[in-house]
Structures are given as C-alpha cells and as structure tokens.
C-alpha cells in the first residue's frame, strides 16, 4: 500500500472511531470493539496489538531519544474516553534519527501496559506523528507520589464531556512530563483504542512519573477505568534502551 493510501485508510478509520460509540464497559467494552464496526476489525484480528506486558526485554542500542518540546497554549479536551491535551505545532521528538511531531497527550487508568506483570495507577501517552503519517507513542507509568504542577493546571481546566477548553493565555510544556532518566522500552504495536491501527512505534519509559494521591483520585472519579486489557505479544521482541 502506498503512503497516501495508508494515510487515507488511517484518516477514514479514525473518523469512524469518532462517530461510532465504544467504551470500556457494558456491550461496548474492549472485547466487543471489533463487532461495533468493520473499521475496528484489527481490535480482534490484529497480531501486533497494544498494550502488552513488558517482560524479558532484550538489550537494544543505547537510548537515542531527544525531546524538543516548546510551550503550548493549554487546550483540554474531555472526549468521553479520557482527558486529552492538544498540542500546538512545532514540538518534536527524535527517536533513533527519526523526527516525530507531538500532537497530543492523554491518560489511562489503571495503566494499560504492565511491567513484569504489575500495573501502575495511571499511564501517560504522548502521541507523535512523522511526515509519512507514522505514529510513535512515548509512554510513562504513573505512580502515587509528588504532585505535578502541569497536571494541576490541566485538571483545573477540564471541560464537560464532549467539550474543549482553550486557555490561550496559559502555556504548558510537555517537558514537565518527562522523567529524568531517558531509558526506555520499545516495541511495535498498535493504538490501544479503536480502530486499533497497527504500525505504532511504542516507547515506554523505565522510570515512572508521579502524581499526588489527590491528582490520581481526581482522574479516577472521572474515568474509573479507561484501559484496554493486555494483548498477546505473539513473538514480538521488546528492547530495552539505556
């Protein structure tokens, strides 16, 4: 398939995901996603699905991940599945020589990935895309601990479900969501929400982030569970870059 064809397919599938109601409970739970639309078939048939349990990682090349994040006006979306912060153009990450632009970041509870069969309280996903339309997600587990001031700003400006709140005079910098250590796990996976598109490059920090108990509780009151269950690894190799 050509690059243009891939982009058209992804665009169509994402549009379908926005119009077809899906969720994490009842008849629209993750085990039923593929039955909700033909566009969601990969949620059941895909072989490289996410999230997975991170275990038995092999040593990969030294960590080559460079973040060039700039401040962005705060734009908070409550889309009914999570809290998402849309990011202004111009911020990038370079992963092993490939440059991706930051589109948005959002959260899940509990964590979608497990590390050595252990889940965290929450998980952060920083979603990026390169010029070819390929996606790279940088993820971080979130544990209870010190308060994060950026998250405090986000939580204070959450709109009603289905609404967007733009606070143009308030700048946030996603750099404040990065751990000190840049060691990370990598593997080939998928979106963790419909349409479950594959070909996503996953990069999950070894070092977790922390939010205060109050910050975690605030998110859990809005979204008690918004995490897809673990998916089969199907022989994929997880690398550890340090």
Looking at residue 10, what is its pLDDT? 47
Looking at residue 16, what is its pLDDT? 53
Domains plus CATH for the chain? 46-241 (3.10.200.10)
pTM for the whole structure: 0.92
Looking at residue 228, what is its pLDDT? 99
| Three-class secondary structure of residue 180 per DSSP | coil
Tokens of 155: 């939580």
Looking at residue 5, what is its pLDDT? 39
Neighbours of 235 (CB within 10 A): 7
C-alpha separations of 142 from 95, 113, 124, 167, 232 in Å: 22, 11, 7, 25, 23
If you ran DSSP here, which 8-state letter would residue 145 be given? -
Tokens of 132: 């070819």
107: β partners: 124
Looking at residue 24, what is its pLDDT? 98
Between CA 120 and CA 140 the distance in angstroms is 10
Best CA proximity match to 204, nearest among 174, 175, 176, 183: 183
For the chain (242 residues), the mean pLDDT of every run of 10, in chain order, is 40 59 97 98 99 97 95 98 98 97 99 98 99 98 98 98 97 98 98 99 98 99 98 98 96
Q: Is the peptide bond before 209 cis (omega within 30 degrees of 0)?
A: no
């Amino acid at each position: 398939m050509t690059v243009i064809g891939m982009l058209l397919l992804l665009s169509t599938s994402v549009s379908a995901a926005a119009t077809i109601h899906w969720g994490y409970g009842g008849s629209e739970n993750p085990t039923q996603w593929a039955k909700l639309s033909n566009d969601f078939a990969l949620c059941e048939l895909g072989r490289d699905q996410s999230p997975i349990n991170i275990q038995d990682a092999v040593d990969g090349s030294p960590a080559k991940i460079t973040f060039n994040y700039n401040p962005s006006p705060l734009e908070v979306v409550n889309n009914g599945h999570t809290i998402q912060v849309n990011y202004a153009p111009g911020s990038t990450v370079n992963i092993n020589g490939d440059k991706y632009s930051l589109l948005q970041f959002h959260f899940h509870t509990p964590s979608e990935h497990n590390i050595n069969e252990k889940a965290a309280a929450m998980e952060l996903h920083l979603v990026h895309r390169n010029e070819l339309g390929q996606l790279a997600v940088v993820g971080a587990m979130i544990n209870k601990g010190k308060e994060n001031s950026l998250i405090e700003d986000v939580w204070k400006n959450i709109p009603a479900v289905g609404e967007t709140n733009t606070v143009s005079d308030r700048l946030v910098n996603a750099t404040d969501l990065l751990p000190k250590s840049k060691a990370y796990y990598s593997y080939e996976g998928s979106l963790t929400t419909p349409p479950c598109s594959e070909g996503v490059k996953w990069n999950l920090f070894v070092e977790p982030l922390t939010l205060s108990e109050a910050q975690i509780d605030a998110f859990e009151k809005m979204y008690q569970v918004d995490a897809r269950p673990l998916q089969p690894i199907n022989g994929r190799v997880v690398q550890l870059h340090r």
